[in-house]
Chains A and B, each alone.
Chain A
């Protein structure tokens, strides 16, 4: 069995698909999760002894399904309430792997339903699609195991009790619901980007699944491209506990293969005619990776992104690009027109611009304001160093 994927790898790859199939089949989250867990436990024991079966997914689905049917038989009152009216016979014959529908997309849309709170959406997505254990999710979001377990139980109960459908939403609901799914995946990514690396790769996995399952949705491709491109620069983002600006990053630390992959996913998104927020952000991430970057084009894309999102934070980024393109006065005018007084990046951007315009007193005051507002130690030490350089 040399060259075969490890058990752990198979488990990580198959958990979401097997669970999605079971939920689709049973219509019951709790029962599906218990049965899937049992099937994986049996597999861990049996496969280690007898080797991995030829069709591991079919084996897992069949085993989990049989376990669930057994359980329903044991508890007739429960069985009476399940939607499974003509309960199929359990069988040891594994089904044909190609005949098992991929229902991960249904599962993803269910987990990210707006009737669930955002925190619950994130936790449930990581638990069901990502296969993370409750304790792992709790640690990632800095809450106790008990709090996270309650959050998951409440979410699963609400799905069942409130009748949240297990399906890909119909076309008239799809744009809003897809935006919610993409937002959850991107939130997981950004949690990881802020230092918790495992979550970033988890989000990329989810993004890959989404891009594969919705090949014609430009924004799904755009989100995957964006995550790949940003994540490729991860190693270069921090040095000695301080953030390193893009232009000062050691490019030899960039993952060039991943940048190339991100760009080819971006090309697909653009070929689909995508001009949505994720596609635009991915295009910006790609342009930022060029040496030297094409600042006028970056400024133009930020302008388009600001129109799409209506976000003043994007305007702030546009100002930085306008300055890089040579028009520092114009950049300062953009910044001063923004209503973002409580946002430390506004003040740090102003400070940088004022420093370039040789107005050190105003620059110093702006750095002071930014330091007052900043939360992260890495960013504070960066700002203090920049202020110190003003002399």
Chain B
């Protein structure tokens, strides 16, 4: 099974908002970097790219053959996609265990686990 792990930052402090990021201790900041590095080095993981802020997003939809573009992320709620990676695993339990290791999951965000559709 191949899973795309979508990282929703939620209220997680990130370096993109320096004030909130500064509220974490140096040790906590280091731990977060170390955790992401460990995840990227986990066998089966293909790191994705970090995504820019939701404000920079453009959502594309097609209705009746007409392309509609709107400013902003698709989700209307505050939580927006922060990044993703791809994980090849035996089953969902393995994917859930790895998802739980993503720092955002414990700092108020969430990780959405999506199986890659197989054809």
Q: Which of the residues B92, B113, B115, B117 comes within 8 Å of A165, measured between beta carbons?
A: B92
The reply to whether A115 and B96 contact each other, CB–CB distance below 8 Å, is: yes
Task: Report how far A161 CA is from B113 CA in the complex, Å.
Answer: 12
B69-92 with Cβ < 8 A to chain A: 89-92
Contacts of A164 in B (CB 8 A): 91-93
CB pair A173 B92 closer than 8 Å: no
Is B1 engaged at the interface, CB distance under 8 Å to the other chain? yes
A–B complex contacts, Cβ < 8 Å, 15 sampled: A115-B92, A115-B96, A162-B1, A162-B92, A162-B113, A162-B115, A163-B1, A163-B90, A163-B92, A163-B95, A163-B115, A165-B90, A165-B91, A165-B92, A165-B93
Interface of B is mostly: mixed
- CB of A169 within 8 Å of the partner chain: yes
Residues of the A chain whose Cβ atoms lie less than 8 Å from the Cβ of B92: 113, 115, 162-165
Bound together, the chains give a CA A169 to CA B113 distance in angstroms of: 19
Q: Report the tally of A-B residue pairs with Cβ distances under 8 A.
A: 26
Shortest CB-to-CB span from A165 to chain B, Å, is: 4
Residue ranges of A at the interface with B (Cβ–Cβ < 8 Å) = 113, 115, 161-165, 169, 173
Contacts of B3 in A (CB 8 A): 163
Are B96 and A163 within 8 A (Cβ)? no
Give 4 closest A-B pairs by Cβ, nearest first: A163-B1, A165-B91, A163-B91, A163-B92
Residues of A contacting B90 with CB < 8 Å?
Answer: 163, 165
- A161/B115 in contact, CB under 8 A: yes
Complex contacts, A162 vs chain B, CB 8 Å: 1, 92, 113, 115
Binary interface encoding of chain B residues 86-119 relative to chain A, with 1 for a CB under 8 A from any of its CBs, else 0: 0001111101100000000000000001010100
- Min Cβ gap B4→A in Å is 12
How far apart are the CA atoms of A165 and B92 in the complex, in Å? 7
What residues of B have a CB within 8 angstroms of the CB of A169 in the complex? 93
Nearest A residue to B93 by beta-carbon distance? A165
The interface residues of chain B lying within 8 Å CB-to-CB of A165 are 90-93
Cα-based distance from A115 to B91 in the complex (angstroms):
12
CA A165 – CA B115 in complex, angstroms? 14
Central interface residue in A115, A162, A165, by most chain B CB within 10 Å: A162
Task: For residue B107, give the distance in angstroms from its CB to the closest CB of chain A.
Answer: 21
Closest to B95 in A: A163
Q: Output the nearest chain B residue to A166 by Cβ-Cβ distance.
A: B91
18 other A-B residue contacts (CB within 8 Å) besides A162-B92, A163-B90: A115-B92, A115-B96, A161-B115, A162-B1, A162-B113, A162-B115, A163-B1, A163-B3, A163-B89, A163-B95, A163-B115, A164-B92, A164-B93, A165-B90, A165-B91, A165-B92, A165-B93, A169-B93
